[in-house]
Chain A
Amino acid sequence: MDVEDYMLLFLALWILLSAILVGSVDVFLTLTLIGILITLEVGSLFLDREQKEGMKPLVELLILLFTIIVLKKVYEVLSGGAS
């Protein structure tokens, strides 16, 4: 197996375990983002530019979703504190 295969295997296991073990969609999305960022950081030596560029849209989408999740939580805290 190639290093890329190990990275893909790790990421697949991370995402699947997160999906199965976590009950909330918000936490699952956050864990997926963390898993992808860890893989890209640790494995950056073995990935060429095209592969890194290919992952960018997914990372950007997950960062956007993460921002929405954080804003939602902030709003919940603030609105809970006001009442």
Chain B
Amino acid sequence: MEAKYISSALLALSGGILAAWGFIHGEAAYINLGLAALFLAAIVPVFKSPSYVKRDSLNIMVKSQRNLATSLLDGLALEGKSVYLPPYENLPEGGVFIPLREDFDLDPARFDEGSIFVTDVPDERKMGLLLPTLGKELVEKYEEHLEGPLTSIPEVESAAGSVLKSLNLARRVYIEDGEGEVMAIVTPDFECSPVNCERFPCPVCASILRGIAKASGEVIVVESISRGKAGVEIKARKMGRVEEWM
């Protein structure tokens, strides 16, 4: 049994005894102390996080995942930078597409949630790797925080900032929405040196880009992800709505 539940049970027990004793003897001070202990018994399990993973462990995990992703992308000879698709009929939650070639072309009609390797296309420029779930859970968290779907870029900035801060993943998220382009600055709370992130980003950057794609309803193509003064700078281009690519 976890310590927080044991302390909560002890607080509830002592609080109940104190409140009852105070009530019987008409002592307001004891009633107050008893109620205080009862309230704290209710608050402690709610506020205390269930469990933690050491920051070093997270860094090791992220590093190993990045090495795996890099070797996978190199092995598949995927050269293109990642493309973020907003939700549409074939992909109701949106997705991330890593094209085979840098001068890629998209055929969203051929994508679906079950396909990973997009090879059944007439043109090599349309081939690539489809990752429908990269960053999806964090986007769900953003929408949980907003209590509704992401509909604008300021909403993405606010929700991502709050959620990533509460998860101790990033201290700050800033998004600048321009004409045809978008820039995001993330100040990560863990060891982060962007390598190959344009092709295969970590779930944090992927979730922000995915959120931007969802909120704007446009296809987003990453231009660069690099380390800047304020944090990790993500530069991306808006490439129009999915329907325009069909």
Contact = CB atoms under 8 A, between A and B. Distances in A.
A25 interface: yes
Interface in A9-31: 11-12, 15-16, 18-20, 22-25, 28-29
Given A12-B40, A47-B166, A49-B144, A55 B35 contact: no
A32 B163 CA distance: 27
Given A4-B48, A25-B35, A48 B166 contact: yes
Interface stretch (B26-34, B81-89, B107-115): B26-34
A64 B5 CA distance: 26
Given A45-B162, A45-B165, A49-B144, A58 B42 contact: yes
Contacts of A36: 43
Contacts of B162: 44-45
B44 interface: yes
A2 B49 contact: yes
B49 A4 contact: yes
Interface residues of B, number: 27
B47 A7 contact: yes
A24 B29 CA distance: 8
Contacts of A4: 47-49
B36 A32 contact: yes
A17 B40 CA distance: 13
B46 interface: yes
B46 A54 contact: yes
Report the interface size class on chain A. Answer: 20 to 34
Interface string B143-178: 011000000000000000111011110000000000
Contact of A51 (B36, B42, B46): B46
Q: Name the residue among B40, B165, B166 with the largest chain A CB count within 10 angstroms.
A: B166
Contacts of B168: 2
A16 B49 CA distance: 22
B166 A46 contact: yes
Contact of A22 (B32, B40, B45, B46): B32
B147 to A, nearest CB: 8
6 contacts: A18-B32, A20-B29, A23-B28, A25-B28, A51-B47, A58-B42
Given A5-B48, A18-B36, 7 more contacts: A8-B43, A19-B32, A20-B32, A23-B28, A25-B32, A48-B141, A48-B145
**Minimum-distance CB pairs A-B, first 5:** A54-B46, A19-B36, A19-B32, A8-B47, A28-B32
Interface of B: 28-29, 31-33, 35-36, 39-40, 42-49, 141, 144-145, 161-163, 165-168
